[in-house]
Structure 1
Amino acid sequence: MENTEKDLKELVRNKYSEIALQDKEDNQASCCGATGCSTEVYNIMSDDYTNLEGYNADADLGLGCGLPTQFAKIKKGDVVIDLGSGAGNDAFIARAETGETGKVIGVDFTEAMINKARANAEKLGFNNVEFRYGDIEHMPVTANVADVIVSNCVLNLVPNKDAVIKEIYRVLKPGGHFSISDVVLIGELPDALKESAEMYAGCVSGAIQKQAYIELIKANGFVDISVQKEKSITIPNDILAQHLSGDELAGYKDNGAGIFSITVYAEKPKDTDACCEPGCCN
């Protein structure tokens, strides 16, 4: 039976509740996060955060697939929203960019992650970083408040990506922008991978085609869209073998299909009419 959006979201929520209780080394062992499903060294997040100002090891669970804050053009005093903020890693790095005069709001729908992020913020003594429990398809944020939105390997986990893009548009100020790192596809994944709940909760099966991803952003009114960074992701054979037969695995490797991490930038037009209700911006 095909998973409903509600079922998939609950799967992700449960999986990332488990992940919140693990350390970074366990999470980096596989794209499946809370299940150590690979004997090969694998880390989808090959970028190194540790030298960035604002980095906090306790907030880094090794769950990202890019460095969106590095490309987000955050200025002092900006209001920044981090979608799927986890334990707070990207939010704290954004806080280093926006400074004490700015504000950072993290949104996550996993209570265990919110609790961990709030504890980290308290420990760091940050009074301009807050974490709100909520669904990024229905952000607990009023319209036209954010200068910048960042997100790191989260939209691929959301079944209704169009709803999230619409919410990003609603919440950004006219002239505001986003920088989002995410997982996309080029070519077709085997059905066994796309349909696997475990891979969905990991990082891959919820991903859509790169071109469709860009078109979705464009269709929702954003301008100046660009791919700031792109890198190929390699899933180890022992993970793939859990989902594919020998022939399917060989065919997948030969068909040229690929899984990529991209960081996408786009702006909300400056001359857009202000929104007051969710869904009014199209």
Structure 2
Amino acid sequence: MSDLTKDQIRQNVRNRYKQIALQEVNAGTGCWTPSSCCDSPTEISSKLGYSAEELSAVPEGSNLGLGCGNPQAIAELKPGEVVLDLGSGGGFDCFLASRQVGETGRVIGVDMTPEMISKARANAAKGGFSNTEFRLGEIEHLPVADQSVDVIISNCVINLSPDKPQVFREAYRVLKPGGRLAISDVVLTAELPPEIKNDLDAYSGCMSGASSIDELKMILEQSGYTRITIEPKDESRTFIKDWLPGANIEDYIVSAIIKAVKP
């Protein structure tokens, strides 16, 4: 990856999710893979920890079967809170969060793919979600005011950024004092083989951009966060193995719950 610029990586990621938003390819587990074409988004999300009630509570078309966990389930959201979703896609996690924060709360989704923003806004209108809005922007440069957010959620998106320290600095900027992170993402458990590490499609597929737990802890500490916990989920190997068939990718990455607080 060293010979690729950050912008080349972003463009490749943006194009992948543009295609998914336009349904030019089938959405699949974690980040799209051909092997998962036979699973519906509902079946995939069930494996990621979403309940049947959650899956039936969102507008049709908002669940694209993406992600590696269920961040709003770990966020302990309260009525009246302001929630920010980094990489909001079709709006799935935003709509679930909006039910928890209620009419007095607000949910903001940020995504760098225009087609995803259009899809999410259409889904919000279809479902009557008046407390939810979607903004076009990069998670490294959030279109969100300083100290305006109570909780930041994200589902298997930060690994896609070529500048993770900048993502967490921006998250810190927009969080209120006492604000918290509740993130599902993948982490490295072993060094990736060169053929995966240097594969741009593996990067946009949520694999080769993963960081180690120690690296993420260091980034979070340097950004100013406290009460940092990163909890790997070994059971996630059961669906991660399908992301890159035949490569034993589950031996190198797992899903994890990442939590931290801005003091």
Both structures adopt the same fold (TM-score exceeding 0.5): yes
Aligned residue for 1:14, secondary structure, equals helix
Distance between the aligned counterparts of 2:220 and 2:35, measured in 1? Answer: 33
Q: CA deviation at 1:223?
A: 0.6
Distance between the aligned counterparts of 2:260 and 2:73, measured in 1? Answer: 15
Q: Is the 8 A contact 2:90 2:117 kept in 1?
A: yes
Deviations 1:109-133 (A, max 9, x none): 0000000000000111122100000
Q: Is the 8 A contact 2:30 2:156 kept in 1?
A: no
Percent same amino acid among aligned pairs?
A: 44
- Which structure 2 residues correspond to residues 112-123 of structure 1 after superposition, within 5 A? 112-123=115-126
1:207/1:39 Cα in 2 relative to 1: closer, same or farther (>3 Å)?
same
Aligned to 2:66: 63
Q: CA deviation at 1:238?
A: 9.3
Q: Is the 8 A contact 1:104 1:129 kept in 2?
A: yes
Q: 2:237 aligns with which of 227, 233, 240?
A: 233
Aligned to 2:257: 263
Aligned to 1:149: 152
Q: CA deviation at 1:236?
A: 4.4
Q: 1:52 aligns with which of 42, 51, 54?
A: 54
The amino acid of 1:154's aligned partner reads V
Q: 2:103 aligns with which of 100, 105, 108?
A: 100
Q: 1:36 aligns with which of 12, 34, 37?
A: 34
TM-score w.r.t. length of structure 1: 0.82
Q: Is the 8 A contact 2:83 2:150 kept in 1?
A: yes
Distance between the aligned counterparts of 2:92 and 2:262, measured in 1? Answer: 25
Deviations 1:31-51 (A, max 9, x none): 562x62568879597224232
The amino acid of 1:51's aligned partner reads E
Q: 1:138 aligns with which of 126, 133, 141?
A: 141
Distance between the aligned counterparts of 2:126 and 2:227, measured in 1? Answer: 38
1:93/1:228 Cα in 2 relative to 1: closer, same or farther (>3 Å)?
farther
Unaligned segments of structure 2, at least 5 residues:
none
1:31/1:68 Cα in 2 relative to 1: closer, same or farther (>3 Å)?
closer
**Are 1:174 and 2:177 matched, yes or no?**
yes
Distance between the aligned counterparts of 2:125 and 2:242, measured in 1? Answer: 41
Distance between the aligned counterparts of 2:87 and 2:177, measured in 1? Answer: 23
Aligned to 1:2: 3
Aligned residue for 1:51, secondary structure, equals helix
Aligned to 1:245: none
The amino acid of 1:10's aligned partner reads Q
Q: Is the 8 A contact 1:189 1:257 kept in 2?
A: no
Distance between the aligned counterparts of 1:194 and 1:233, measured in 2? Answer: 18
Q: Aligned pairs, how many?
A: 255
Distance between the aligned counterparts of 2:18 and 2:140, measured in 1? Answer: 19
Rg larger in structure? 1
Distance between the aligned counterparts of 1:8 and 1:199, measured in 2? Answer: 11
**Are 1:193 and 2:193 matched, yes or no?**
no
Distance between the aligned counterparts of 2:115 and 2:160, measured in 1? Answer: 17
Deviations 1:206-235 (A, max 9, x none): 111122112211221101112356234355
